[in-house]
Structure 1
Amino acid sequence: MADWTSRAGQGWWRGPAGVRAGWRGLAYLLIALVLVAVEIAGLAWLKPPWVRPTALLTPRIILLNEVLLLVPIYLASLAMARAEGREVAAFGLRQPRPVRALAGGLAAGIAVLSLLIGLLWGGGLARISLQGLGLVASLASLAAWLVVSLLVGVTEELGFRGYPLVALARGIGFWPAALLTSLVFALLHVSNGGESVTGILNVFGAGMILCLARQRTGGLWWPIGFHTGWDFAQNVIFGTHDSGQGCAGALLSTLPVGPAWLSGGLTGPEGSVIGLGVELAVALTILRLLPARRDDFDMDQRGPSG
């Protein structure tokens, strides 16, 4: 099948490098959507009790949700990898010293979210209090949320900065592909009940930062770590709202004070305009501290297939 996708041609379907990048990206999306639709239909038929909404987000709910998303994303990536004669790991998971990159991203994600919370607290825009969990309960909660936060990072980074970014970058260039995938990433958050306009802008900015990190590090592991650290600090360390919903088992409780556009309101810290400034600082820091590297796909080399 790889010969079929790479066979040169002329027209709206094929170019000199084979099936055009846009069609490859669309094929990936359709495969993933069909698999998600099958899962939704199965859940609607089975009606398992664990899919019912809860007052607070829990590690168990997030775990089930992310597994149900990761399976279609992985299978769609696998289908496109096989079609192109590659492996799924080639879309950003195969890079030198992945553990080091993951740990670096994790530390950076926790640090950046902590900086944002610190700015909100220092400006009188957040009120922080202890939840009063015991030592054993705190350690158990930290471990559970770390696992599910890592799963969120893997799912969303593979889903947006994996095959779609690679495929589109080969056709239209890296930064147009980054803009497009980040826009889709942000729009998919609109359906979250507690999102705001500022929150969506922050999500778009986060997508661009993660694309930048993907380009600079040559793989997905640093972005996965950063995504994990941000969610971990937000959900369990500081206990902020996440798109309008609280999280169970947090060590601290962080509540907004003042106007929502400054404090984030019920959206959480992502809903604050201060977050946009923090994201700009993060982007500049990445450009300064992370040396540019190449992965198995040199995404800055625009192929003729677009």
Structure 2
Amino acid sequence: MMDKLLRVFYTDGPRRRLRSGWRLGIYVLLLMLFTLPFTLMAGLLMLRLNMDPASTPALLVGQIAFAIASTLATWFAVRFLDQRPWVSIGLTGPRSRASREFGLGLSLGVGQFALILLVALALGWARILACRACAWTWDQALRELVYALALWTAVAWSEELILRGYVFQTLAEGIGTFWAWVAQALIFAILHAANPGWGPRPALGLFLAGLYLGQGYLATRRLWLPIGLHWGWNWAEAALGFPVSGLEQTPMRLFDLAVSGPEAWTGGTFGPEGGYLGVLAILVGMMVLHQWAARQARTNPPRDPKQDPDPRIEPR
């Protein structure tokens, strides 16, 4: 009887640990536990500095606080619930490989938004009203650059660490890789439900974006590519004048852009991922990533477990 009860909570084998569903539930509680004090500290700092809650600095403070909290919660879960090394979450690999994968993701994200803007301009669905960056002083340009680097790094790091990191990998243990891939994308879309302008089309776009980011992890079994992709996507979307998932107050906006085309295609006030232009861009990106992964599988030598351990293998 006791063995049957233990099997409800623990895996079989010589090294018993909590089953994936229980670990995932505890991880959510850990996220809440770590996020609360850091959110309170961020709020007190905003009050102390008289920050407008809708301003870029306030957004930055909140995102950095969440990034710290999510890092601590994930580290705790990986080390103590999973009983595996921290880097096994997807932070393995030589620096050269990590840089290449991050660079590929960054290039894909920026390139896709440059293409979206060019298509929107060519079809008359968007118009550049003014060049904001042209009026910046050196001090303003430096401030915008620092804000953008800090904000998009915090967003990409925290969301990828949580979703393509712990959630995806833990779900895959319980329900298999395919359904975990679908589930983490669905969670990604739902987590943006509070953003302005969210609805069925934005939900579809964000779901596909979650699949795309998950594909980046599956192609490498590391987080560097999806972090770069997420970073490049958000940065380029803001820099080229589009709303970022419904958010307008984002740093380093190079242009004032007027979007007047059909909302079903442009995404309207939510941004291109809320329209069919964004959906098409994501699908093209997924095809490019698939081809890249297939080429890597043909040309790369087998993994050296000493230099680049497989994060899916549990350490003994």
Q: TM-score, normalised by structure 2?
A: 0.82
Give the letter aligned to residue 13 of structure 1: F
Instruction: Determine the C-alpha separation between the residues in 1 that align with 2:62 and 2:283.
Output: 31
1:88 & 1:229 partners in 2: Cα distance? 25
Which of 157, 178, 188 is 2:191 aligned to?
Answer: 188
1:150-189 equivalent positions in 2, closer than 5 A: 150-189=153-192
Structure 1, 209-218 or 76-85: larger mean CA deviation: 76-85
Distance 1:284 1:8, change over 3 A: farther
Gaps of 5+ in 2: 304-308
Structure with more relative contact order (C-alpha pairs < 8 Å, separation 6 or more): 1
Q: Which residue type is aligned with residue 145 of structure 2?
A: L
Letter in 2 for 1:91: I
Alpha-carbon distance in 1 for matches of 2:135, 2:253: 8
Residue-pair matches, total: 290
Distance in 2 (alpha carbons) for counterparts of 1:48 and 1:163: 35
Whole-Å separation in 2 of the counterparts to 1:188 and 1:88: 25
One-letter amino acid matched to 2:112: V
The RMSD of aligned alpha carbons is: 2.7
2:147 is matched with 144
- In 1, the alpha carbon distance for the partners of 2:177 and 2:183 equals 10
Is 1:23 aligned to 2:22, yes or no?
Answer: yes
Q: Identify the range of structure 1 (142-151 vs 37-46) with the bigger mean alpha-carbon deviation.
A: 37-46
Greater displacement, 39-48 / 144-153: 39-48
After superposition, the C-alpha distances for 1:152-187 in whole angstroms (9 at most, x for unaligned) are 211111111112211111222112111111111110
| 1:251 has 2:247 as partner | no
Alignment of 1:1-306 (within 5 A): 11-16=7-12, 18-41=17-40, 47-49=47-49, 52-54=52-54, 58=56, 60-83=57-80, 84-96=82-94, 97-129=97-129, 130-131=131-132, 132-134=134-136, 136=138, 137-138=140-141, 140-235=143-238, 237-246=239-248, 247-290=250-293, 291-292=296-297, 296-298=310-312
Give, in whole Å, the separation in 2 of the partners of 1:12 and 1:188. Answer: 29
Distance 1:72 1:230 in 2: 23
Runs of 4+ in 1 over 6 A off after TM superposition: none
8 Å CA contact 1:243, 1:268 repeated in 2: yes
Residue by residue, what CA displacement relative to the aligned partner does 1:283-305 show, whole Å, maximum 9, x if unpaired? 11111112359762338x9xxxx
Would you say the 8 A contact 1:8–1:14 is kept in 2? no
- For 2:67, give the aligned amino acid: L
SS at match of 1:128: strand
**2:7 aligned counterpart, secondary structure:** coil
1:19 alignment partner, SS class: coil
Q: Which range moves more in the overlay, 32-41 or 94-103?
A: 32-41
**Could you tell which deviates more after superposition, 40-49 or 74-83?**
40-49
**Percent identity of paired positions between Structure 1 and Structure 2:** 28
State how far apart, in whole Å, the 1-side matches of 2:171 and 2:246 are. Answer: 33
Unaligned runs of 5+ in 1: 1-6, 302-306
